[in-house]
């Protein structure tokens, strides 16, 4: 649910360019809206981000430090 709230407030998947958290990777493309880099957020893989495309073993049900930093930056 928190992941979906992340989308509702405007966040894309952390790994939108590779979908490396999923069994089948790929690029989600522009999704009609593009993506804006949030200053201070990681540019590489963030395996514990709640906004990964697919939930994995490292993903928790809370926003990680980088997710929270992005929320504070935007809001
Ligand atoms: Zn999602």
CA–CA distance, 50 with 27 (Å, rounded to integer): 18
**Greatest alpha-carbon span in the chain:** 33
Q: How far is the CA of 42 from the centre of ligand 1 (A)?
A: 18
Give per-residue pLDDT as tens, 11-26.
999 988 899 889 888 8
Task: Quote the ligand 1 centre to 2 CA distance (angstroms).
Answer: 10
Tokens matching residue 60: 């928790």
Task: Say whether pTM exceeds 0.85.
Answer: no
CA 13 to ligand 1 centroid distance, Å: 6
Q: Rounded distance, CA 60 to CA 3, Å?
A: 10
d(CA 57, ligand 1 centre) in Å: 16
Residue spans per domain, the chain? 1-75
The answer to whether 27 touches 67, Cβ cutoff 8 Å, is no
Assess whether pLDDT exceeds 80 at residue 33. Answer: no
When the pLDDT of each residue in the chain is averaged and rounded to a whole number, the result is 87
Neighbours of 75 (CB within 10 A): 7
Distance 32 CA to ligand 1 centre (A): 15
């Amino acid at each position: 649910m928190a992941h979906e709230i992340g989308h509702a407030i405007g966040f894309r998947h952390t790994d939108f360019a590779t979908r490396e958290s999923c069994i089948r990777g790929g690029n989600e493309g522009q999704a009609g809206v593009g993506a804006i880099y949030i200053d201070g957020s990681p540019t590489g893989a963030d395996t514990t981000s709640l906004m990964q495309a697919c939930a994995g073993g490292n993903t928790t049900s809370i926003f990680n430090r980088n997710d929270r930093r992005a929320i504070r930056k935007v809001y």
